[in-house]
A and B are shown apart, each in its own frame.
Chain A
């Protein structure tokens, strides 16, 4: 057979395409459950990290036992029949504010005390940053925070994750409302903290910019204010 004829080339290409597609589809479908489980586990670990539970050998089991979730809309009302895990925070971020929905994860400790875990998402200096922040039952005091950002050079940029003491611990105990109950969020500031309740000393040379984190916190927590206000007036946490 002539290896340079058009027909041979076309048939050859067609057979190759089909074989390759079938092989890849087979591998994909046989590994898919495993890949999805990995994605889910990674998200669960991030959520647990915000309440200080790191390096758990059985993160998935702990998550199932302690975390429940629901979804609120832009006006702070609970959306029925939606699971917090189903919300893609990055996709919501791009929608107009009034169409967004926001997941709320509730962590119940062994002693029955509860914490609210809220997702955060925003722009760093050059890249996206995201994370989870945990609030105490008073919906004011920060109980923990876990942040991450995308660094395309593998290994770099892992600092935020690897050094929780330096990056995340200073947030614990700060409050997001001032004494009059007005929303002020928390801020990272460089040099001279004036309001220790709401400000954190920004680490010089941090891989993510404090401005980006401040904006992300202010906006991210702001989404939940209507819900907080409604929940507080009913006195009990959902």
Chain B
């Protein structure tokens, strides 16, 4: 019950992209075609699901006062999180390349980009500030990734159609993408009232 709640919250109610603007850079840059959007979305789901629980373990067993060093090392939090994310992305890249060349060629170019996708670090920091348990953190990671996937695939589909629309010239491209994102954000707000 609690897990479903967290999943729904992470993917719909507090969608990383549409209500916190996290991961907007790649969201806008790589959403011109559905196919590439699916690739990036899948990579984000994967990395978020891995890094949030790992960062949870690090924050609780290495950095906290009750951890193995018995000192409060939270001032190193940001550096460690980003290092873990960079390392994980690298690791995922190698593993995928080794075991599934097909998936690698599909995701390949997006994987390195994910390190600086704000939603990944955002996932780790939200996990921290919301004081989740390990299981909750894992569900939260997956849910946020899923939310990102949904949002980027949806906007890519819309933008594919938009190319045939008659939009005022100065608004074409980036401008209209922003406005569409805003409208999607409004639509996602309707999830706020949901009660499980």
If A90-B131, A126-B9, A126-B14 touch, whether A20 touches B20 (CB-CB below 8 Å) is: no
**Contact for B76 among A21, A90, A125, CB less than 8 A:** A21
A152 lies within 8 A of B131 (CB) = no
Taking the complex as formed, is A153 at the interface, i.e. its CB lies under 8 A from any CB of chain B?
yes
**Docked pose: A90 CA to B132 CA in angstroms:** 12
B75 lies within 8 A of A20 (CB) = no
B12 to chain A, nearest CB (A): 11
Type the 1/0 row for B21-57, where 1 means its CB is closer than 8 Å to any CB of A. 0000000000000000000000000000000000000
B121 to chain A, nearest CB (A): 14
**Docked pose: A21 CA to B78 CA in angstroms:** 12
Q: Which residue of B lies closest to A35 (CB)?
A: B75
Taking the complex as formed, is B13 at the interface, i.e. its CB lies under 8 A from any CB of chain A?
yes
Q: Which residues of chain A have C-beta atoms less than 8 A from B76's C-beta?
A: 21, 24
Taking the complex as formed, is B19 at the interface, i.e. its CB lies under 8 A from any CB of chain A?
yes
Taking the complex as formed, is B126 at the interface, i.e. its CB lies under 8 A from any CB of chain A?
yes
Q: Which residue of A lies closest to B8 (CB)?
A: A126
A153 lies within 8 A of B19 (CB) = yes
Taking the complex as formed, is A28 at the interface, i.e. its CB lies under 8 A from any CB of chain B?
yes
Contact-size category for B: 10 to 19
**Contact for B75 among A28, A126, A153, A209, CB less than 8 A:** A28
Q: Which residue of B lies closest to A21 (CB)?
A: B76
Secondary structure class of chain B's binding surface, majority of residues: helix
Q: Which residues of chain A have C-beta atoms less than 8 A from B75's C-beta?
A: 24-25, 27-28
**Docked pose: A27 CA to B78 CA in angstroms:** 15
B13 lies within 8 A of A126 (CB) = yes
A20 lies within 8 A of B79 (CB) = yes
**Docked pose: A128 CA to B14 CA in angstroms:** 15
* Interface of chain A residues 2 through 42 with chain B (CB within 8 A): 20-21, 24-25, 27-28
Q: Which residue of A lies closest to B79 (CB)?
A: A20
For the complex, count residues of A whose C-beta is within 8 A of B: 15
B135 to chain A, nearest CB (A): 14
**Docked pose: A150 CA to B129 CA in angstroms:** 9
Type the 1/0 row for B61-80, where 1 means its CB is closer than 8 Å to any CB of A. 00000000000000110010
If A126-B9, A126-B14 touch, whether A152 touches B129 (CB-CB below 8 Å) is: yes
Q: Which residues of chain A have C-beta atoms less than 8 A from B20's C-beta?
A: 152-153
Taking the complex as formed, is B195 at the interface, i.e. its CB lies under 8 A from any CB of chain A?
yes
**Docked pose: A186 CA to B44 CA in angstroms:** 46
Q: Which residues of chain A have C-beta atoms less than 8 A from B13's C-beta?
A: 126
Q: Which residues of chain A have C-beta atoms less than 8 A from B14's C-beta?
A: 126, 152
* Interface of chain A residues 50 through 96 with chain B (CB within 8 A): 90
**Contact for B126 among A128, A152, A209, CB less than 8 A:** A152
**Docked pose: A39 CA to B81 CA in angstroms:** 24
**Docked pose: A153 CA to B19 CA in angstroms:** 8
**Docked pose: A21 CA to B129 CA in angstroms:** 23
Q: Which residues of chain B have C-beta atoms less than 8 A from A150's C-beta?
A: 129-130
**Docked pose: A126 CA to B140 CA in angstroms:** 13
* Interface of chain A residues 124 through 138 with chain B (CB within 8 A): 125-128
Q: Which residue of A lies closest to B9 (CB)?
A: A126
Q: Which residues of chain A have C-beta atoms less than 8 A from B129's C-beta?
A: 150, 152
* Interface of chain B residues 133 through 187 with chain A (CB within 8 A): none
Question: Which residues from chain B sit less than 8 Å from chain A, CB to CB?
Answer: 9, 13-14, 19-20, 75-76, 79, 126, 129-131, 195
| 17 new A-B contacts at CB < 8 Å, known A20-B79, A128-B130 | A21-B76, A24-B75, A24-B76, A24-B79, A25-B75, A28-B75, A90-B131, A126-B9, A127-B130, A150-B129, A150-B130, A152-B14, A152-B20, A152-B126, A152-B129, A153-B20, A209-B195
A–B pairs, 23, beta carbons within 8 Å: A20-B79, A21-B76, A24-B75, A24-B76, A24-B79, A25-B75, A27-B75, A28-B75, A90-B131, A125-B195, A126-B9, A126-B13, A126-B14, A127-B130, A128-B131, A150-B129, A150-B130, A152-B14, A152-B20, A152-B126, A152-B129, A153-B20, A209-B195
Question: Which residues from chain A sit less than 8 Å from chain B, CB to CB?
Answer: 20-21, 24-25, 27-28, 90, 125-128, 150, 152-153, 209
